[in-house]
A and B are shown apart, each in its own frame.
Chain A
């Protein structure tokens, strides 16, 4: 079966750095997405990785290792507004998005 694993909840301090991990086992791989979702709102796109390595975009970076079935999202200089759920999703061989359950990130002052 297809499976995406990520921690249920993480807590970090404002101004700090946090890394959210995601491991996956899917039928085929056409890329991995990270989305941010605030409570009561739809997901918003953060990053897309299809090749191994690190993609940096401002305070957010995303890393992919296809051989390990592993990705992480790195958030730097955390702000209170970064409190949200972060969803990892993999595009499988049928170009369908397989979703993780999301990681709820709590930022403390």
Chain B
């Protein structure tokens, strides 16, 4: 199956700093990438959908200026958490979908963010 990687897998940062998370599709071209957030014992919450070369579409309640998403190429999307605060601590997961593949999303391994 298709492989999606995320980097870093874990990050600990101080409050007020910015953190960038990378999501890469390794063996296919991802025309659409999704960014999710998951709190402990809760389901996935879609934050935003990004299509290559265009601005991301954010879900209601997600601050686009705080969670900057860039999908500059067909194999890379980045999520930058700006001015991180402890409440931003969470498990962030990306998924990717190829052109013509409207049904299946392939998930990255996730990034555990802890803001002190």
Say whether B43 contacts A30, CB under 8 Å: no
Given contacts A48-B104, A91-B103, A42 and B43 within 8 Å (CB-CB): no
Say whether A96 contacts B46, CB under 8 Å: yes
Interface of A is mostly: loop
Residues of B contacting A42 in the complex (Cβ-Cβ under 8 angstroms) = 93, 107-110
CB-based nearest A residue for B110: A42
Say whether A41 contacts B102, CB under 8 Å: no
Given contacts A96-B46, A99-B44, A101-B43, A41 and B104 within 8 Å (CB-CB): no
Say whether B102 contacts A95, CB under 8 Å: yes
- Within the assembled complex, what's the spacing in Å between the Cα atoms of A69 and B81? 37
- Within the assembled complex, what's the spacing in Å between the Cα atoms of A91 and B46? 13
Verify if B1 is at the interface (C-beta below 8 Å from A): yes
Select which of A30, A40, A50 is within 8 A of B112 by beta carbon. Answer: A40
Interface of B is mostly: loop
Interface residues of A in 14-60 (CB under 8 A from B): 30-31, 40-45, 48, 50
Interface residues of A in 69-109 (CB under 8 A from B): 87, 91, 95-97, 99-102, 104
Given contacts A45-B1, A99-B44, A30 and B102 within 8 Å (CB-CB): yes
Residues of B contacting A30 in the complex (Cβ-Cβ under 8 angstroms) = 102-103
Say whether A97 contacts B108, CB under 8 Å: no
Most A C-beta atoms less than 10 A away, residue of B41, B45, B49, B109 = B41
CB-based nearest A residue for B1: A45
Q: Closest approach, in angstroms, between the C-beta of A38 and any C-beta of chain B?
A: 11
List chain B positions with a Cβ less than 8 A from chain A: 1, 34, 41-46, 49, 91, 93, 102-110, 112
List chain A positions with a Cβ less than 8 A from chain B: 30-31, 40-45, 48, 50, 87, 91, 95-97, 99-102, 104
